Structure 1
Amino acid sequence: MKIDKKNGINRYAALITIMVLIFVSILSRIIFLQVVKGEDYKAKADSNSIREIPETAPRGKILDTNNKVLATNTQSYVLVYNQTDEIDQTFFQTMDKVFKILDENGETQKDDFELKINPYRFEFRSDDPKTQKNLELRFKKDRGMDSYVQKKLFGDKSTDKLTTEDKAKIDEELLKITPEETFKFLVKKYNINSSKYSLEKQRRFMIIKDTAKMNSFSGYKPVTVASNIKRSTALIFLQMLNELPGIDVDTQPIRTYPYGEVGSAFLGYISKITSDDEKYSEKGYDTSTDYIGAAGLEASYEDRLKGSKGGKIVKLNKQGRIIQELGSRDSYPGQSLKLTINEEVQAAAEKALDTKMSELRANPSAQQRSNTANATRGAAVVLDVNTGGVLALASRPGYDPNLFSTPGSLSTDLYNQFFNPDLKAFGKNYIEQRGLMAYYPGETEDEVLNTLFPVDKSIKNNTTVRKDPYDIYAKPLFDYATQSLIPPGSTFKPMTAIAGLQGGVITPGFVVDDEGIFDKGGGNYTRFTLDGANGPVDLISAIQKSSNPYFMTVGGLIKKALGSDGLAKYAWKFGLGVPPTSDEKPSTGIEIPEAFGQVYNMWSMKNLYASTYLYKTMQTLKSGGDNGYKFTPIDLYDNDNDSSKVKDIKKKLKESIQGSIKDGSKSFNKDTYNELITNLVKEDPQYKDKGISDKDIKSMISCIYYTTVSDANSQINVTAPMYDAAIGQGMNQFTPLQIANYIATIANGGTRYKIHLVDEILDPNGKVIEQNKPEVIEKTGISAENLAAVKSGMAAVNEKGTAAGAFQSFSIQTAGKTGTASTNNQEAVGRTDYSVYVGFAPLDDPKIAVCIVMFDGGQGAQSAYVARDIYSAYFHLNDGSDSGTSSTGQ
């Protein structure tokens, strides 16, 4: 065959040309990637391998007055996971190995993940249902579920075009997504193979994946897989790092409370940030991982205790190992608190309360008129009478703060006990045990349940979350010492004595013949069957025997001579409320959250009745009449469909009703009521075809007059409320802390101090940087003679009166007062009397004052035994007297 050389050369040249062009193209691309884009790709590669490893600052210590450590930090080993794109490809294999090692060594994976399984549910650390709903919304939105719902509801409508109604609709739909549906959404989002792994394993993977995702919002930080692991476990992981890409071992401080439950009421606890409040981000917190003080001093002094966070910027290799440290910043410990608390006294108070309440529950029928089977809540406050420092502040039941700071400690049962109690199951059991169906003839158990533990109607579409309006369920996280308002009962009688003496209406020799009965007027007789008749009593014996007729008589004299606020004016000096129209802050001064109660006074009385009887009037109008008045019903309750005119008319009608309740006939204007009701009928469409006549309106006005003027206002102005107030009942309600401060003021001669827990603030080296000196709030001006007379009566209480059983053979002289405080209709809700005791010691040179309260504890003498044990601890006494249950006393 003949070869065409010319064509062969041409084809060869063409091939060479093509190859040259290809090589030039490749070379150009290489040059472009390495030279032109080289820095960009290098930066991207570096950014993927550069991490910030935060260093948690040790929180400041909390010490008692003798430098005993109540809260501190212990260095612990933590297992972390550094995620990179390369490592993520082997995530599931790596974590399988990690979980196996943790399980074999008895370690617990860190689990702050609020989405639980078996059953599917959310566990948010709040006992407020509304807050729980807000936290659920935040949880779902942080994980992108709102975008899914938005697209489903509004298609491609952009977020900035959404109206307020649109956003509300998204929230509503988000809340309809069940925990199970949420779980499945995240399984898909995180590419977890649901067919390959068990449900438990899926969730364990999800915790790590989710934490990494949340961390990415504020930079790529390591994920803590397990904290507080044993040293031996840490060594196992260190030996296996080459087999576990991304895994590393580090150390960090963990908050610990050496005495467990002791002092939990004022110490509080720390918890992962759950609020969506931006203030934490603004203060430099990482809201996805950081812990903050959630209650007590841990919360109140968060800014002082938290310290300054440190960390280092490092470069990782493909295996997630640190190959270079690029920069660092040391952490700095927080400031420490030295308290006025005496740990020994605190522990004694808690133990004594627990012991006595256990005795009361074991012998529920030992006391006359009391069933103490539910004596499950109590409080004790011990004050230094000369400084206002808190020596002990106990609230029972308590809790162990370590449960919240130590990973894996807060079980589901404990979570439910703290944040999500099953009040339906508890309530049914409570009703049956207390035999309460007898108080509700014709009603079913479910109806009684809805009375005692009603469904919380303030939560939209709620059918399961219930309230505890009668304070029946024992709440460990609730501080009964500072936040519970209780009637003081007979422990208030020394206050009535002071007002009577200082007001000049009685002398210590004033005598009343106590026949065991008292006439409140109008044929309203009160018989004191528990006390019986005490015969003629003067001031000292009246305090000793807790004579109700004596102090009710004194109350009446005070009102007659000093006016309706005559008693209150003296009580306010002792911190039992503040003048309601003044600018004075209602507070004892304590550094942790507190409620603040009020003594009987006319302004508060009028407002209380105005509120109570307004709703009674509204109910009567809605039901179509009462007390012989009949008419076509009208509704003054707020309605979402009300027009602005209807809302305004209803508002004015309610204001008129409240004015009539407060001021009686002088503010009752028939013409005003007639005009307002006529306008309401005209403007509100619901009355269009009701045919409400002038006769109906006239009958309504007469009914309103009867309820507001004849009933409510007439009760405000009688002396009966003063009689009740004089013996610590009626509207008198205070916290145990307030009551203790009032007694301390008597004990020290009439000076009321600001209450405080913190004595000193220390820097990390223990140097004092701030000291709280005793601060006088008020010098009451009560004469020494009058205080001495009251103290003599209180000494007689412990020597031969209602608390004598507790203080027989006690080695120091003390003074006190028992109180048996009741509330309206308490038997029908299964409650019994509060057992209250107040006192101070020693008698001749008082150092400390106490207030003890046991809810459903019966007679006040029972609480005196708790006080005796507190005195023994404070004064280091070996008191061997019997602490058996007393069966008498108020």
Structure 2
Amino acid sequence: MKGDNKREFTRYTALIVIMIMILTAITSRLIFLQVVKGEEYKEQANNKSIREIPDAAPRGKIIDKNGVALAENMQSYELVYNRTDESDKVFFDTMDKVFKILDDNGETQQDELELKINPFRFEFKSNDASILRSLELRFKKDRGLDGEIQRNLAKNKKDKLSKDEQDKIVDEELLKMTPEETFNKLVDLYKIDKKYPLEKQRRFMLIKDSLKMQSSSQYKPVVIASNIKKDTAFKFLQMLNDLPGIDINTQPLRTYPNGELGSAFLGYISKITLKDNTNVEREKYEAKGYDISSDYIGTTGIESVFEDRLKGSKGGKIVKLNKLGRVIEELGSRDAYPGQTIQLTVDKDVQKAAEDALDKTMADLRANPYAQTGSNTTNATRGAAVAIDVNTGAVVALASRPGYDPNWFAAPGGLTSDEYKQLYPNVEEFAKNFIQQRGLTSYYSGLSEEDVLNKLFPVDKSIKDKTVRRDIHDVIPKPLYDYATQSQSIPGSTFKPMTAIAALESGVITPDFGVDDEAYFDKGTGPGGRVYFTNDGPNGWVNLSKAIEKSSNPYFMTVGKMLREAFGDDILAKYAYKFGLGVDPNSKVKPSTGIEIPESFGQVFNSWSLKNRYSQTYLWSTMEKLKSGEDDRGNKYSSLDLYDNDADSDKIKTAKSDLKKAIQDSIKEGDKAFDKSNYKKLISNLIQLDPQYSGKNISDKEISSMINTIYYTAVSDANSQIRAPFNIEDASIGQGINQFTPVQLANYIATIANGGTRYSVHLVDKFLDANGKAIEEVKPEVVEKTDVKPETIEAVKAGMAAVNEKGTAAEAFKGFPMQTAGKTGTATISLEQESFGRTDTAMYVGFAPLDQPKIAVCVMILDGGHGSGAAYVARDIYEAYFHINNQQSNTQNSGQ
């Protein structure tokens, strides 16, 4: 028994000893980890003591042909906040001190948060309703404001809804959230005490929001204020010990030394904005090394197109911070490398002359709105001027007015409210003033001012619970819109030299061919067949040169008629394509002038484009009549709805699509594509499929009436107009469906001026490295040799020379010490244009000098009236380019 007791005692003793040893080891290790190494491991676990401080690469310069800087960089000081546990504890007290120092020294806090106060509103950089909707959703989802909606949805009926249905509900609920509600939710999210005044709440929010928008793995310094003065920076440096987390960095700041000059082609940089509601955009930027929360990127123009060349390679330092956010150790670094310099073909002085001349001419037109017969130039607020080297295609000047100052976007303080309103005006406010100033209610008997507002500036119904109006008649000036490359305008009489070339080259006329211009043209028999040109007056007997000089509409409409009779509707387009005025829609040719920045490419009249345009326009007209249940002759029948509906099944969608395609075919091809039995089959099929017709007992007689409506609209009206001679007759004087950009028109004139060689238009001359050494040069590129006969070119040039010497532009070039050539144009946009506040577009094209042309120009002034006024802008461009000192005042004159 004693032996057994001894063995039992030994086992328990051993177990206790072992347990004591294990517990002692664990306790010792815990003491070591928490006390001895506690601070070190706390910093490592926090992962906020080790930071990367980015070093932005100096953005490459943009210079003009003579090396003058158009966009460059300046070194600036920026105030930043490094977030740590310690600095976060005193965040609000620290920022109170920071705000006071900034305010006392006249500095501006960086403010790029689109959510504004006083009044509460969003200021997104767009006027487009669909983009505004997308940006608002992106803003709210990025900040997690959809989370509560998702959770409520999950509690109720999430399992019963498809993913698309869920997303739709969430989006609708988010859009119902007002700016004020959004602000208050963010105040709660960022734990901002509401004891602070509203303004200060938002100042705290700016910094908290920047921290929120950082990637969870980044923890980079957040910029509080940029481009602060040197003295202010030193004051902060002296007080760093009292401002946990605050530091001063240096940063290259993008600057545009000439302000608005060249903004149309330079573009601007801005903070990255994600437009879609997926992570695709985010991942695309992050893959290229961008920090979505802070980096700036080229947004438009040269800045955007050549972003990869301009941005350079980002550098940075890996540093260790102490608990107050101070750098205590540099662990590694890499140098930033500057972006490439882009040298343009543009001449700064010629560019300035073009912009100044446009501004002055438009101001004169607005100041004297009734100086021209038949035009009200009150809204002459928008225009463009392009000058091109005729022997290379290089752009010498590209002006779009109104312009904007790219520095507004580069300045880290963000757009001021005044700048924002100038760039993105409130359509409703503008519209009400515009309607009153122009007295537009007088054109609409029985309609109130509100009715006219809704008619001319309708509410965009794609955004629910919001009042966003559309400028459907394009009357509001858009500073961010490039009128030189994007605005397609009817060319008016500036197209007549093209008609002359087509007629001479095809052998329809000779330069001596003449017409008795009695100020009218007979388009056909019957009422409205004779078109009068009362503003022009009769010009008597005119040959080609005289017709160009006097801009004779009867002459060129006669020539258009002759071209059609000899070669059909597409003969005019055949030659216009050679000069860059459109492309054959059935070819594989890329529709482009070659210019590097985005452009809209216009098209000349041709039968294919005309058919497609009419097929869409008259399809809408047919659908409207069918839905109304009544045709133009008063015959009534059951309503037939061909409009798309979200509730339509796939079979109904197909049935509607088949019927609409049949209507479009009838519009394009007329009787040969119209089959009554097929229409009856298509309509009957739709009626059987669509539940909205259930129980209506639509009779065969009604279906027959529907088919008659389709016939009279699609065939008798639309197709007969497609086949009518007046289309090419109108096109021959630059009206109808002809539409081109100023860049296209300038290049067409350059092709005439140099004898028939069309060059690719280009803005870039060369790319340089950071040391100014050429990396790549852009060589002139011949797009097409038109092979137009020299005598054809000379005949057209003679007429254009007469325009400037004694014709419609003679007043503008009186006393000019150089022979030039040109053509004015007065482009009517609509027969009802005055009723919605528009008037003719003033156009001018030309080249100089006459004997050995160097540059070609195009000037366009929307709502500028007669084209002779635009010629003064061309004169100022020539003076700058050829260094001509002109003492004669540039006075706005009326004329054609």
Same fold per superposition (TM over 0.5): yes
Q: Given that residues 758 and 782 in structure 2 are in contact (C-alpha distance below 8 angstroms), is that contact kept between their aligned partners in structure 1? A: yes
Q: Which residue is 2:71 aligned to?
A: 71
SS of residue in 2 equivalent to 1:364 = coil
SS of residue in 1 equivalent to 2:124 = coil
Question: Equivalent residues in 2 for 1:422-433 (5 A)?
Answer: 422-433=426-437
Q: Which residue is 2:482 aligned to?
A: 479
Unaligned regions of 5+ residues in structure 1, if any? 1-20
Q: Given that residues 852 and 863 in structure 1 are in contact (C-alpha distance below 8 angstroms), is that contact kept between their aligned partners in structure 2? A: yes
Distance 2:735 2:851 in 1: 30
Q: Which residue is 1:34 aligned to?
A: 32
Q: Which residue is 1:451 aligned to?
A: 455
Q: Given that residues 357 and 876 in structure 2 are in contact (C-alpha distance below 8 angstroms), is that contact kept between their aligned partners in structure 1? A: yes
Q: Which residue is 2:843 aligned to?
A: 836
Which letter does structure 2 place at the counterpart of 1:784? P
Q: Which residue is 2:739 aligned to?
A: 733
Distance 2:103 2:24 in 1: 53
SS of residue in 2 equivalent to 1:805 = coil
Q: Given that residues 564 and 602 in structure 1 are in contact (C-alpha distance below 8 angstroms), is that contact kept between their aligned partners in structure 2? A: yes
Q: Which residue is 2:577 aligned to?
A: 572
Deviations 1:61-96 (A, max 9, x none): 000000000000000011111110011111111111
Q: Tell me, yes or no, if structure 1 residue 376 matches structure 2 residue 374.
A: no
Question: Equivalent residues in 2 for 1:369-768 (5 A)?
Answer: 369-408=374-413, 410-419=415-424, 421-457=425-461, 459-461=462-464, 463-523=466-526, 524-628=529-633, 629-768=635-774
Shift of 1:463: 4.2
Unaligned regions of 5+ residues in structure 2, if any? 1-18, 276-280
Distance 2:231 2:611 in 1: 69
Q: Given that residues 455 and 467 in structure 1 are in contact (C-alpha distance below 8 angstroms), is that contact kept between their aligned partners in structure 2? A: yes
Distance 2:694 2:445 in 1: 40
Which letter does structure 2 place at the counterpart of 1:835? A
Q: Which residue is 1:13 aligned to?
A: none
Aligned residues: percent identity? Answer: 62
Which letter does structure 2 place at the counterpart of 1:862? G
Shift of 1:128: 2.6
Q: Which residue is 2:147 aligned to?
A: 147
Change (3 A) 1:91 1:659: same
Which letter does structure 1 place at the counterpart of 2:126? S
SS of residue in 2 equivalent to 1:145 = coil
Distance 2:142 2:719 in 1: 54
Deviations 1:130-155 (A, max 9, x none): 22222222222222222222112223
For residue 819 of structure 1, the aligned residue among 820, 825, 830 is 825
Q: Given that residues 125 and 274 in structure 1 are in contact (C-alpha distance below 8 angstroms), is that contact kept between their aligned partners in structure 2? A: no
Deviates more, 1:50-59 or 1:254-263: 50-59
Distance 1:712 1:671 in 2: 21
Q: Given that residues 225 and 413 in structure 2 are in contact (C-alpha distance below 8 angstroms), is that contact kept between their aligned partners in structure 1? A: no
Q: Tell me, yes or no, if structure 1 residue 299 matches structure 2 residue 304.
A: yes
Distance 1:117 1:581 in 2: 54
TM-score using structure 1 length: 0.95
Q: Tell me, yes or no, if structure 1 residue 203 matches structure 2 residue 207.
A: no
Q: Which residue is 2:248 aligned to?
A: 249
For residue 855 of structure 1, the aligned residue among 862, 873, 877 is 862
Distance 1:309 1:634 in 2: 62
Question: Equivalent residues in 2 for 1:872-883 (5 A)?
Answer: 872-883=879-890
Q: Given that residues 314 and 336 in structure 2 are in contact (C-alpha distance below 8 angstroms), is that contact kept between their aligned partners in structure 1? A: yes
Deviates more, 1:486-495 or 1:464-473: 464-473
Shift of 1:215: 2.1
SS of residue in 1 equivalent to 2:309 = helix
Deviations 1:763-807 (A, max 9, x none): 111111111100000010101100000000000000000000000
Question: Equivalent residues in 2 for 1:305-320 (5 A)?
Answer: 305-320=310-325
Deviations 1:617-660 (A, max 9, x none): 11111111223233222111111222222211111110110000
Shift of 1:30: 4.1
Shift of 1:561: 1.2
Q: Tell me, yes or no, if structure 1 residue 169 matches structure 2 residue 189.
A: no
Deviations 1:382-432 (A, max 9, x none): 00000001010000000000000113362112213323x211121111111
Change (3 A) 1:218 1:456: farther
Q: Given that residues 502 and 783 in structure 1 are in contact (C-alpha distance below 8 angstroms), is that contact kept between their aligned partners in structure 2? A: yes
Distance 1:516 1:438 in 2: 31
Deviates more, 1:435-444 or 1:339-348: 435-444
Which letter does structure 1 place at the counterpart of 2:851? D
Shift of 1:875: 0.4
Distance 1:492 1:354 in 2: 25
SS of residue in 2 equivalent to 1:806 = coil
Change (3 A) 1:295 1:193: same
SS of residue in 2 equivalent to 1:777 = strand
For residue 780 of structure 1, the aligned residue among 778, 781, 786 is 786
Q: Which residue is 2:4 aligned to?
A: none
Distance 1:570 1:636 in 2: 40
Deviations 1:240-259 (A, max 9, x none): 11111111111000000000
Distance 1:156 1:647 in 2: 32
Deviations 1:191-213 (A, max 9, x none): 21112x11111111111111122
Q: Given that residues 397 and 474 in structure 1 are in contact (C-alpha distance below 8 angstroms), is that contact kept between their aligned partners in structure 2? A: yes
SS of residue in 2 equivalent to 1:399 = coil
SS of residue in 2 equivalent to 1:155 = helix
Distance 2:157 2:309 in 1: 47
Q: Given that residues 456 and 462 in structure 1 are in contact (C-alpha distance below 8 angstroms), is that contact kept between their aligned partners in structure 2? A: no
Change (3 A) 1:144 1:737: same
Q: Given that residues 108 and 407 in structure 1 are in contact (C-alpha distance below 8 angstroms), is that contact kept between their aligned partners in structure 2? A: no
Q: How many residues align?
A: 867
Change (3 A) 1:101 1:157: farther
Change (3 A) 1:439 1:161: closer
Q: Which residue is 1:12 aligned to?
A: none
Q: Given that residues 808 and 881 in structure 1 are in contact (C-alpha distance below 8 angstroms), is that contact kept between their aligned partners in structure 2? A: no
For residue 289 of structure 2, the aligned residue among 259, 277, 284 is 284
SS of residue in 2 equivalent to 1:392 = strand
Distance 1:206 1:72 in 2: 32
Which letter does structure 2 place at the counterpart of 1:86? E
Q: Which residue is 2:340 aligned to?
A: 335
Question: Equivalent residues in 2 for 1:71-220 (5 A)?
Answer: 71-155=71-155, 163-195=163-195, 197-220=196-219
Q: Given that residues 86 and 244 in structure 2 are in contact (C-alpha distance below 8 angstroms), is that contact kept between their aligned partners in structure 1? A: no
SS of residue in 2 equivalent to 1:71 = strand
Deviations 1:502-531 (A, max 9, x none): 010000000000000000013311000000
Shift of 1:218: 4.1
Q: Tell me, yes or no, if structure 1 residue 61 matches structure 2 residue 61.
A: yes
Shift of 1:667: 0.8
Distance 2:33 2:717 in 1: 94
SS of residue in 2 equivalent to 1:873 = helix
Distance 2:514 2:608 in 1: 32
SS of residue in 1 equivalent to 2:292 = coil
Shift of 1:160: 14
Q: CA RMSD in A?
A: 2.0
Shift of 1:498: 0.3
Deviates more, 1:634-643 or 1:734-743: 634-643
Q: Given that residues 750 and 855 in structure 2 are in contact (C-alpha distance below 8 angstroms), is that contact kept between their aligned partners in structure 1? A: yes
Which letter does structure 1 place at the counterpart of 2:748? Y
SS of residue in 1 equivalent to 2:852 = coil
Deviations 1:414-465 (A, max 9, x none): 213323x2111211111111111121111121221122111223x2425411
Q: Given that residues 810 and 881 in structure 1 are in contact (C-alpha distance below 8 angstroms), is that contact kept between their aligned partners in structure 2? A: no
Distance 1:852 1:26 in 2: 91
Which letter does structure 1 place at the counterpart of 2:700? D
Deviations 1:6-63 (A, max 9, x none): xxxxxxxxxxxxxxx9999788534234259987973441323111101111110000
SS of residue in 2 equivalent to 1:721 = helix
For residue 885 of structure 1, the aligned residue among 874, 884, 892 is 892
Q: Given that residues 811 and 879 in structure 1 are in contact (C-alpha distance below 8 angstroms), is that contact kept between their aligned partners in structure 2? A: no
